[in-house]
Chains A and B, each alone.
Chain A
Amino acid sequence: MTNSLYGRLDDVQADAGHDPSHPPRKGFFTDTSVCIGCKACEVACKTWNRLPEDGISLSGMSYDNTRALSAETWRHVAFIEKPVHPTTTDLGLPGMGPPGFEAYESGVATAPAAEDQGALSGDGSIRWLMSSDVCKHCTHAGCLDVCPTGALFRSEFGTVVVQQDICNGCGYCVTGCPYGVIGLDENDGKAHKCTLCYDRLKDDQTPACAQACPTQSIQYGDVDELRERADARLAELHAKGVDVARLYGRDPEDGVGGNGAFFLLLDEPEVYGLPPDPVVTTRDVVDIWKHVGAAAATMLALGVASFLGRRQS
């Protein structure tokens, strides 16, 4: 099934009513294999977009004190410490990591694989994964589809942007996002999220995060070209034997019609706190409305029939 709400959609801007001469769709390819967790993207984003600090407190979750994307945080670098070969020895520690980590969850730590090992934990027994998360600017954006006021719109760059002067703070978009990206600001009560630096794009500038990234982990450009770049990078890593590498959000056939901002990951999406198989929340709206329509028609028919029946009787 393909329509404006689900399935492959190659010209998302035209679908939103933009003139055919619109610029190419813009997006991010975030290659987490070269992310060094410097958080320059977070700082550049907050500085450019004048977002407030949202909490001076230690999370205890590795070096991730940002915790999640929110109305005040549009880039979030996740830090995941993951044991590679958790040989189990119960040291009686309380759990401390994000869910999905046997060793952390059960308070179990790694032990030496062999007695003569220099480091107790053994080299390679831990991986430290870093990934800068951001709004995915979905082809089928649940937030946009459910917005009752038209505050969310599809820009000429194919990105999804909130207009706070129109937003009424209903919060439908918050539940409409399959990734938990968008949030309501406690101060103004309105929805905020990454705009892919709409203001900078209009001036032909690179978004602040991509501009600041020192290792080109965050790459900005035309989505078509970024997809090619991502495919090439994936092939390169697979050729090097990094078979854990995978692309996330690149596939235009997936549950959200592919993301404008997609990723190269080095583990399962869940490890990074990403849903493994996101589906736009409005996928079934057409079906639902069909069913609703059918139900209404049936009701109507039944009602009419009942009157007719009565008359006959």
Chain B
Amino acid sequence: MAECHPVGFQWVMEAKRRGATIIHVDPRFTRTSAVSDLHVPIRAGTDIAFLGALVNYILTNELDFREYVVAYTNAATIIDETFQDTEELDGLFSGFDEDSHSYNPESWQYAGADEAAADDDGADGPKGDQPGEEEKETHDSARAQAMGSGGPSVPHKGRRDETLQHPSCVYQVLKRHFARYTPEMVQEVCGISAEQFHQVARALTENSGRERTSAFCYAVGWTQHSVGVQNIRTASILQLLLGNMGRPGGGIMALRGHASIQGSSDIPTLFNLLPGYLPMPNAELEQNLDHYLERDEGKAGFWGNSRAYMVSLLKAYWGEAATADNDFCFDYLPRLTGDHSSYQTVVGQIEGRVKGYFLVGENPSVGTSGGRMQRLGLANLDWLVVRDLQMIESATFWKDGPEIATGEQRTEDIGTEVFFLPAASHVEKAGTFTNTQRMLQWREKAVEPPGDARSELQFYYELGQRIREKLKDSTDEMDRPLLDLAWDYPVEGELREPSSEAVLREINGMDADGNPLSSYTQLRTDGSTSCGCWIYSGVYAHGVNQSARRKPHWEQGHVANEWGWVWPANRWMLYNRASADPDGRPWSERKAYVWWDEAANDGAGSWTGEDIPDFIADRPPHYEPPEGAKGPDAIGGSDPFIMQTDGKGWLFAPAGLADGPMPAHYEPPESPMRNAFYGRQNNPARKFVDSRHNPVHAQGSHVFPYVFTTYRLTEHHTAGGMSRTLPFLAELQPEMFCEVSPRLAAERGLTNGGWATIITARTAIEARVLVTERLRSLRVGDQMVEQIGLPYHWGSNGVSTGDSSNDLVNLTLDPNVFIQDKGGTCDIQPGRRPRGPDLPSYVEEYRRRSAVDEDQRSDRGTNP
């Protein structure tokens, strides 16, 4: 966190100053480790083994925060008796289909779901899985859950045994599942000593309960794995067991990779989502608005109002043209026909199915895994638009990419027409950043963009207007979605930029008279309101740009919620009903945050506190919803997790995940080890990127004996376009380097400051060597594992240049969100890599030796 989020890390240092214990779990000893109380070196890709052992430690010693767990999680809920665990199936959960490598989650349901479904006239069987960003996990889960177990006449909590003794209750299922995650296994799999494990376990459990909480912070170190989502799930289970969700000082902090990456999930640049985590409609299943909404509509929780959100979004898109008679132009929306995520798109480019591409502030030639495939894709397009601050590698690959250097490609053979358009930087345009805490902060334009540089807003607006102008006489129905768009933003300034504040108003939403809404609860299903993103509704409440608020913290309460604006409804902490006990009283004075005030509201009572309650303000703590209640009305008084149909935090996910209801340790796609937990080596539901350019190393390869992991440095920004081009930053980390332990240096004859070549079956790169004890040689079981650290910032352009470590990475994807594993196995040799055509033949020799070739795929059966 100190490495990649130094500004946010100031608060960790502040917490440390106030007595917090900082524990850092990372393969490397980083700048974070340097100031932590405890650094726990771990073998890359074994997070579930470690976290799972913590879960087991808590359950075995009954150290969970029992009152919280019983009341606020689904620990007491009874699971369908057809469910089978990895314990019974040697690494598989029930419902796995070997042919499609995918799960049918039917047997993971809450017991009694079948009867409930029978009563539920809305349920019509599972729809196609369209998993997306992890945030969407909530929604997918909610959809599946609403469809499966939540019936109008059955309490949506399912059957519960609050003594937690029923053998099929989640608590017991979880306990059995994690029983084999012992400290001994942690030593054997992660390379973490039992002593260190116990240090962490004690620190966490002693810091749990009414008086104390712990927070987890993670970045892509957890997400970029073929089990990325399940890594986070394991942390969620821990935090729920310890009572650390919805309470001050608790939570799981996802540290995003760029400014406003949170914003780009909320108003998404993702293929499978619409604004506010509404799913993109499916081409086969969702022919009209009713179809699209029927899973969520009327179900318990706030997703039950999804019609209001969707209709208001369609009104924001198409304005007057969207009417009840034409389904509010629902037919204008594009439909999903399958996985159109980034890596599949690249495969489509290589296969010639994808002809055009926009790269906006993204440099996949360097910054995306499997860089070679990225460039091969770019080279096979008809046209490519690159908008960036600098002439990045993804715009110049056709003349100076690594494949040109090796002779595998010739400039004259590349037909891609590249349009490079200079972009305005964040100080050259006004708008918002949404940070990881869901906080929108408005920034003013400081200077006009130089030369031809323009903001994204202006670019897309111009592009849209020009296309519309060209199509204006078209009678083709296909062009209606474009022509009917409600695009009428005022323009301002010399550059005639569309007003970003007007866009924010549209996102906030308006009533029929054009007055700004103050909350998403005002959204209507009849088309009388419009709203560009329901969760952002309120950011322009009362006609005031709330995201521009800058009241200093010393002039307000400690939550400081008059700084910027946090979605939803300026609630700074989600699910904060859980900060009070079931009776609505703070768990302790020290941790008081949101509570039930009986006297308020003329004696009717109301939720109040330091933050805006993330709950229905006047719902009493022990409220039981009447039978047949729908939407928010169906939320019970002790159901803090209001986006879940059962209102409970999920220790066991009965639906919504593509690779199991509970996390299980599987080895990374490339690993030196056999899976010590199960017969299944890898995540059985992982997705493959089928391409001859993407060979994957076999487990335990003697040719690729070392583990590598890729990461960022404080001094550079992602693919380097904003840092390698600036002398002040480039000089701080001037050359691509690798970090190796003294033991590995001795084993391979590497010298500090010298050169090394790192080889995988994808390619080979060179790097200067730092020999450092910050990289540990891990004793994992009876073998030593060496891990090589590789920053990924370098490419061929800029002041500081070097090879890109992303070229080494294989593409094997998490089945929920299609993210790759950030590491793999490799070899390392002293000296620089071969040049020109010698490089591919050097790699080919490695491939031959490791018997990794195009037939490798057929080994899947023997190496599951």
Contacts and interface: CB of A to CB of B under 8 A. Distances in A.
Interface stretch (B457-465, B520-528, B573-581, B745-753): B745-753
Contacts of A91: 742-743, 745-746
Interface in B384-431: none
A38 B5 CA distance: 9
Given A56-B730, A120-B778, 13 more contacts: A33-B35, A34-B13, A34-B17, A36-B35, A42-B728, A55-B731, A109-B743, A118-B191, A118-B193, A119-B778, A121-B773, A123-B196, A125-B773
Given A60-B768, A63-B733, A94-B752, A215 B10 contact: yes
A120 B43 CA distance: 12
Contact of A36 (B9, B39, B715, B753): B9
Contacts of A118: 41, 187, 190-193, 196, 778-779
Contacts of A94: 751-752
B731 A54 contact: yes
B728 A123 contact: no
A38 B2 CA distance: 8
Given A109-B742, A120-B741, A215-B10, A56 B776 contact: no
A146 B280 CA distance: 74
A81 B752 contact: no
A215 B432 CA distance: 25
B13 A215 contact: yes
Interface secondary structure of A, over-half rule:
loop
Contact of A128 (B33, B713, B729): B33
B56 interface: no
Nearest to A38: B6
Interface in A1-53: 33-34, 36-40, 42-43, 46-47, 52-53
B165 interface: no
Nearest to A54: B731
Contact of B2 (A36, A53, A112, A125): A36
B776 A119 contact: yes
Chain B interface extent, by class: 35 or more
A65 B732 contact: yes
A128 B7 CA distance: 20
Contact of A66 (B729, B731, B774): B731
Nearest to B13: A215
Contacts of B742: 91, 93, 109-110
A109 B743 CA distance: 8
A252 B118 CA distance: 84
Contacts of A93: 742, 745-746, 751-752, 771
Contact of B774 (A36, A40, A81, A215): A81
B377 to A, nearest CB: 31
Interface string A99-133: 00000000001101000111111011111111000
Contacts of B777: 119-121
B287 interface: no
Contacts of B141: none
A36 B746 CA distance: 30
24 contacts: A36-B2, A36-B32, A36-B34, A36-B35, A39-B715, A53-B728, A55-B731, A57-B734, A94-B751, A109-B773, A110-B773, A117-B193, A118-B41, A120-B776, A120-B779, A120-B784, A121-B776, A121-B777, A126-B774, A128-B33, A128-B774, A214-B7, A215-B10, A216-B13
Nearest to B732: A39
A39 B714 contact: yes
A306 interface: no
Nearest to B17: A34
A80 to B, nearest CB: 10
Contact of B35 (A34, A55, A216): A34
Contacts of A130: 31, 34
A116 B752 contact: no
A62 interface: yes
A46 to B, nearest CB: 5
Contacts of B752: 60, 93-94, 96
Chain B CB count within 10 A is highest, among A54, A59, A109, for A109
A302 interface: no
Nearest to A110: B773
Chain A interface extent, by class: 35 or more
B187 A43 contact: no
Contacts of B10: 214-216
A94 B784 CA distance: 23
Interface string B737-781: 100011101100001110000000000000010111110111100
Nearest to B16: A34
Contacts of A98: none
B38 interface: yes
Interface string B1-20: 01000110110010001000
Contact of A214 (B9, B715, B731): B9
A216 B33 CA distance: 18
Nearest to B737: A58
Contacts of B38: 123
A123 B41 CA distance: 8
B800 interface: yes
Given A38-B31, A116-B193, A81 B768 contact: no
A134 to B, nearest CB: 16
Contacts of A38: 2, 6, 31, 714
A177 B713 CA distance: 34
A127 B37 CA distance: 11
Interface string B702-721: 00000000000111000000
A40 B13 CA distance: 16
B735 interface: yes
Contact of B731 (A65, A110, A127, A215): A65
A96 B731 CA distance: 21
Chain B CB count within 10 A is highest, among A42, A117, A124, A128, for A128
A52 B193 contact: no
B643 to A, nearest CB: 33
B753 A126 contact: no
Given A117-B779, A118-B196, A55 B774 contact: no
A189 interface: no
Nearest to B776: A119
Query: Considering the complex of A and B, which 10 residue pairs feature the smallest CB-CB distances, nearest first?
Result: A60-B753, A53-B727, A109-B742, A118-B193, A96-B752, A120-B777, A38-B6, A128-B34, A36-B2, A58-B735
A65 B715 CA distance: 11
B34 A37 contact: yes
